[in-house]
Amino acid sequence: MRLFSPPTSPMVATSLLLVRLALFTVFIVHGSQKVLGWFGGYGFPATLNGFTHGLHIPLMLALLAIFTEFLAPLALLIGLLTRLAALGLACIFVVAVATVHLRNGFFMNWTGQQRGEGIEYFILAAGLILALIISGAGSWSLDALLYQRLKARKGMPAITPEYQ
């Protein structure tokens, strides 16, 4: 019978935490490559140059993409502004798929026989990203803590006496 039972609140909280941790693990590596030059990356100046001069991405959009790929995973890790962070990653995905990966087909380039990576990985990660956009971070997050505090303060004046 338990095989078919609906999820409990702790199950949902655990699932959303695992989704956030999986996305954090993948994206922090890519973001660290771009910003810090870790994991074989080129670092911030070279990445920015490659985006603006090599790919002809406008400077502000290049900066937004680079910092989103670095800061959004950190936000996901702690569950802060989760929907916004996931939306930022979704935007990066749409651009990457449309400009580079869609032409390479579906499959990843496991054997090195293709000219590049396909969209297989992007579909999996997009499912995780969409789950966070729809559900939020879950109860084990700073988003949930902030929500509870705001909810508790509802009905109180916007400016409390100690701040006047």
Q: What is the 3-state secondary structure (H, E, C) of 4-32?
A: HCCCCHHHHHHHHHHHHHHHHHHHHHHHH
Q: Is 41 helix (H, G, I), strand (E, B) or coil?
A: coil
pLDDT at 91: 95
pLDDT at 156: 55
Amino acid in position 46: A
pLDDT of residue 160 exceeding 80:
no
pLDDT of residue 65 exceeding 70:
yes
pLDDT of residue 163 exceeding 50:
no
Distance CA 120, CA 102 (A): 10
pLDDT at 5: 78
Would you tell me how many other CB atoms lie within 10 Å of the CB of residue 159? 8
pLDDT at 1: 54
The chain-wide mean pLDDT, for the chain, equals 90
pTM of the model: 0.85
pLDDT of residue 138 exceeding 50:
yes
pLDDT of residue 161 exceeding 50:
no
pLDDT of residue 103 exceeding 60:
yes
> What is the percent of the chain where pLDDT is above 70?
93
Residue, of 113 and 27, whose pLDDT is higher: 27
Which pLDDT band holds residue 4 (cuts at 50, 70, 90)? Answer: confident
Which has the closest alpha carbon to 128: 21, 6, 32?
21
